[in-house]
Copies of this chain bind each other. A is one copy, B any other.
Amino acid sequence: MTSATTRPPRPNAGTKGVARPEREAQIIEAGCRLFGEHGYLATSVADVADAAGISKPLIYNYFGSKDGLHVACVKHASAVLVSEIERTAALGAVGFARAVVTLDGMFRLLEPRPWLWRVVFDATAPREGEAQTWLAEHERRIMDFGREGVAELMHLAGNDDPLDIDAMRAAWESIFRALVNWWLDHPGESPEEMTHRCLRLFRTVFGELDLSGTALT
């Protein structure tokens, strides 16, 4: 007995038997967290494997490459964000009130898993590489909801220059991103508080907002 292990302990290989879809979901969950918190470049496949409680080759078995894993994570994260945006879009608010409603939904969505945001807006993700052409597409889908509003604002002001509209859209998106990022950098702030902060800021610049038909006060 105590002579026990001449052989080194050969633990579980293949014993766990977790079904592939479930395992993939676990890996994507861990991947989103690490990619979101540290960025693509600073995250290694081994890190993700550790965090998911499995070994590196399993990730290659299921996702093919680091890029493949990354794409799966971005798909997951952006699907979550897009569905939230489409939900709030269907609420029917217009103008700046719609922006605040969208921000409010985003804050509530991100509170339990803030890293999802930076999975999609990750500056260290490789911009080149065919798989990532795809990522730009999803960033665009997430931000698209503001495009019409900007075009309409510009049209009312008598400006239909497409480049002017595009630059304005870029500025507008950056505000949205900046407010989310500011909130992510202030972890003590509840979604409700942040939404009201956004309301105050919008009112300061744009005057009173039409909140009728929203759940906001």
Interface residues of A (CB under 8 A from B): 39, 41-42, 123-124, 153-154, 157, 159, 161, 163-164, 166-168, 170-171, 173-175, 177-179, 181-182, 186, 197-198, 200-201, 204
Contacts and interface: CB of A to CB of B under 8 A. Distances in A.
B41 A163 contact: no
Given A157-B204, A174-B178, 11 more contacts: A39-B123, A41-B42, A124-B124, A154-B204, A164-B201, A167-B179, A167-B201, A170-B181, A171-B201, A174-B177, A175-B175
Given A175-B174, A179-B167, A182-B170, A153 B197 contact: no
A124 B171 contact: no
B168 A124 contact: no
B167 A171 contact: no
A180 to B, nearest CB: 10
Contacts of A197: 163-164, 167
Interface secondary structure of A, over-half rule: helix
Q: Which of A170, A173, A174, A198 has the most CB of B within 10 A?
A: A174
A36 to B, nearest CB: 14
Contacts of A198: 167
